[in-house]
Amino acid sequence: MAAVNPGFWAGKRVLLTGHTGFKGSWAAIWLTRMDAEVTGVALAPDQTPALFDLAKVADRTRSNFVDLRDPAALDAALGDTAFDLVLHMAAQPIVRTSVEDPIGTFATNVMGAAHLLQALRRQPALMAVLAITSDKVYANNDSGRAFTEGDNLGGKDPYSASKAATEIVVQSFARSFFPSVPVGTSRGGNVIGGGDFSRDRLVADIVRAVRAGESVVLRHPEATRPWQHVLDCLAGYFAHLEALATRPDAPRALNFGPKPGGAEVTVGELATLGVEALGGQPWRHEPDPNSLEAKSLAIDAGLAKSALGFESRIEAPEAVGLTMDWYRRQAAGEDALALCLEQIEGYEARP
């Protein structure tokens, strides 16, 4: 079974928030490759370089730079445009940033989602809406147990709590204002892939350190995360949104992460693989005693397989290899968009 159904997306009018970010740029590239008509709404890129700029994503979409915390600006950007599908990915996604700016994080992640859903109440022909939250929405006691969709929501840091709160906001809008439009949430694992240059993201930190001839600094090399390649994660989101639009029995909340029994890779092991692939210096450990980040995190993606027939296709070591190959070739002068399209085409050809 193919991971993604291009025929479903062809001609669909898709509102994609967060299209200027790392995952959002990959999503815009893939959706437009499948002939979807994509309207993007997001802040301008907040780092240089940015995949959005490198891959000229603005040329493939109707792109709007809008702050979702400003409902009037959002309404003006959407105007009278009608959409079939909505993929809400815009967020403040960094745990350490949320500790530095908790109010801004809650305003963006919680109220931004509420403003978007309020604006969508005026849409006449929506087929489905999918809001992206996080694997960190669960109340995590560092037990190492893989969380399932029915587990309690929580979050000890502002980012995690804001995403758990977003889940509740989405549920409340769905039940109160969208009785005939399926509205769901997808909870993705820790995503890696070419083109991520964000602050305080492991792969981006590795790439910056190698390019500067320095050693990357790790706070928690022993920590485990549900690593998955960006294409696996996006394919899950696309499958979930399609199911919401076409199947009344589609789950409203789904985890997307590594397949059960896959190779578990710690932060230190991933950093070692990345540094070796790029020819950089060994990483070094500098503990952060004030860190609120969980030491162990795992999610159970079994429901996505049983309900949608979807599971990840790329194991963590291969995901690291694909990621570092993207950065190595991009640094050597190859075109960022061509590299993304090559990897998307390769993913689509997988059984």
pLDDT of 351 over the 90 cut: no
Are 199 and 263 in contact, with CB atoms under 8 Å apart?
no
pLDDT per residue over 145-203, tens digit each? 899 999 999 999 999 999 999 999 999 999 999 999 999 999 998 899 999 999 889 99
* 3-class SS of residue 79: coil
Residue boundaries of the structural domains of the chain: 7-348
Residues in the chain: 351
Q: What architecture is domain 7-348?
A: 3-Layer(aba) Sandwich (3.40)
pLDDT of residue 293: 67
The model's pTM:
0.95
**pLDDT score of 223:** 87
Instruction: Tell me the CB-side half-sphere exposure of residue 326, using CA atoms within 13 A.
Output: 30
Query: CB of 228 within 8 A of CB of 258?
Result: yes
